[in-house]
Amino acid sequence: MEDATFVRPFIITGGRAEPTRADLRLETLVVAVQGPDETLEFERRHIVAVCAQPTTVAEVAFKVGVPLGVAKVLISDLVVAGRLMCRHLAELPLPMLERIRDHVRAL
């Protein structure tokens, strides 16, 4: 028997499997431009809340509890809507990259 609280991923994304932005990678950092509000649906509101601090796409998927593909679609929608900003690692200053590397090694 399937869990009654389970929502199929295609319902969350409105049937879309591909994000509107093709440049989102696992390590892309996303950060909220503004806080979550009632106009956002549950998963999108949760993503904006998680991204109060810069967070990777992979971490967002884990923390929100959705598959990576779903997270990419939702994050992409939020970036296009101006709710999130994304930065690729190549755009980050070297000291920040080194801190990220050190934290990953500590895991």
Helix (H, G, I), strand (E, B) or coil at 101: helix
Q: What is the pLDDT of residue 50?
A: 93
Whether 4 is in a domain gets the answer: no
Tens digit of each residue's pLDDT (9 = 90 or more) over 13-63: 565 656 666 678 888 899 999 877 888 778 888 999 999 999 999 999 999
The dihedral sign for the CA sequence 78, 81, 84, 87: positive
Percent of the chain with pLDDT over 90: 23
DSSP at 33: S
List the domain range (segments joined by +) for residue 89: 9-106
CATH classification of the domain holding 77: 1.10.10
What is the number of domains present in the chain? Answer: 1
Residue 31: strand, helix, or coil: strand
Write down how long the chain is: 107
Average pLDDT, the chain: 79
Whole-model pTM?
Answer: 0.69
Q: Return the H-helix or E-strand segment holding 87.
A: strand 84-87
Q: End-to-end distance of the chain based on CA atoms, in angstroms?
A: 36
